[in-house]
Amino acid sequence: MDMMFEAMNEIGGTIIIVLDEIDTLGDDDRILYSLSRARAQDYVEDHVYPSIIGISNDLQWRDNLSPKDKSSLYDDSVLFSPYDATQLQQILRRRAAKAFCDTELIPIDEVANHPNQKDDPIETNRSDQEYLSRSNVLADDVIPLIAALSAQDTGDARQAIKYLRKAGELADKDDEEQVSSAHAREAQALVERETIVEAMREMTTQAHLALAALTALELSGDAPVRATPIYGVYKSIASTIDADKLGQRRFKDHLRELDMQGIADGEKVTAGSIGGPAWEYQLQVDTEIAVEVLKDTARFADIDFQRISSERPDP
């Protein structure tokens, strides 16, 4: 932090600091506190005016901040809505014109030479010049389909671009002359699988242990299952790989994280008049994928999930 404040003093004036994915700070809000109080604490000189822009997909990220940070930020929120299908189509057509052969954007004033163009005009820059899209390698329904799939899911342009790129790779792999809607739908499934696999590979050891325990119970046919039996299998696997064992409350946090990532599904159920509500969990991904990811992780490579599922301890 000292080096940053020294640099700010050298630059002077209004300095805007952009923190992308600001929610990853979690409970560690020292950075925000130091920046928001930099002038009051004399971390920077009087001619320096720090401002912060935080970017997050988590609308609740501020809930993790301490009251002192919330009061010192004086923040305003700007909400950017997801792209709709029409907007995504325009983004995809611009990208496609650069990425695919025999695909171009035609100035609208030349459209008389291309009477079969049916797409809506695309404004590609700030010059008010509009264009129409033409492609010999993309079937007419590919971009509208990909735009619709992405708009219905996240409205994320990066996701839509991944679908389009993967569809092109599949067509090239199949030695097809044209990218079809079938390629687009297959691309969606593959990208979603790759995204989930990547998320699982990047998890911590404790998160992998929670995933391993739930996977074993899926293989034994016991899912959906409550947290206590999962915790019993978790402790067994943790002992096998010589890992630390968390308390049950902290372990449940990892189950909830799997739920939030779409890897597992948690559902609140009634536990009876004495116990109150409880949660049951089951995998949202194929067990084969979960086992494959875990087996590729060094500490889990020798785990026999079938044996664990048949020899699991009683809750």
Q: What are the strands of the beta sheet with 277-283, ordered from one edge?
A: 225-226, 277-283, 264-270
Q: pTM for the whole thing?
A: 0.62
207 in Cβ contact with 257 (< 8 Å)? yes
The pLDDT value given to residue 199: 87
| Residue 130, pLDDT score | 72
Determine the angle formed by the axes of helices 287-295 and 205-219, rounding to 10 degrees.
Answer: 140
pLDDT in tens, 299-309: 999 888 877 75
Mean pLDDT score, 26-38: 78
Which CATH entry fits the domain spanning 2-73: 3.40.50.300, 3.20.20.70, 3.30.40.230, 3.40.30.10? 3.40.50.300
**Paired tokens of 309:** 């599922």
- Helix, strand, coil % in the chain, rounded to nearest 5: 50, 15, 35
pLDDT in tens, 69-81: 777 777 778 888 8
Instruction: State how far the alpha carbon of 22 is from the alpha carbons of 58, 62, 151, 312, in Å.
Output: 9, 10, 25, 40
Chain-centroid distance of CA 257 in Å reads 13
Residue 269 has what pLDDT? 82
Extract the runs of DSSP E, i.e. beta strands, from 13-57.
Answer: 13-20, 48-55
Domain parsing of the chain, residue ranges? 2-73, 85-198, 203-311
Q: How far apart are CA 299 and CA 295, in angstroms?
A: 8
Residue 128 pLDDT > 60, yes or no?
Answer: no
φ, ψ at 104 (rounded to 5°):
-150, 165
Same fold? 2-73, 85-198: no
> Class of the 203-311 domain?
mainly alpha
Q: Which residues contact 51 (CB under 8 A, 6 or more apart)?
A: 14, 15, 16, 17
Q: Are 200 and 290 in contact (CB under 8 A)?
A: yes
Burial class of residue 156, CB neighbours in 10 A (0-12, 13-18, 19+): middle
Q: Which of 148-162, 203-217, 297-311 is least confident?
A: 297-311
Spatial distance between the Cα atoms of 182 and 171, rounded to a whole number of angstroms: 10
Mean pLDDT throughout 91-100? 93
CATH of domain 85-198: 1.10.8
Tokens of 265: 């599904």
**Spatial contact of 259 and 266, defined as CB atoms under 8 Å apart:** yes
Q: What is the pLDDT of residue 126?
A: 46
The 10 Å Cβ neighbour count of residue 142 is: 26
Model confidence at 207, pLDDT cuts 50, 70, 90, reads very high
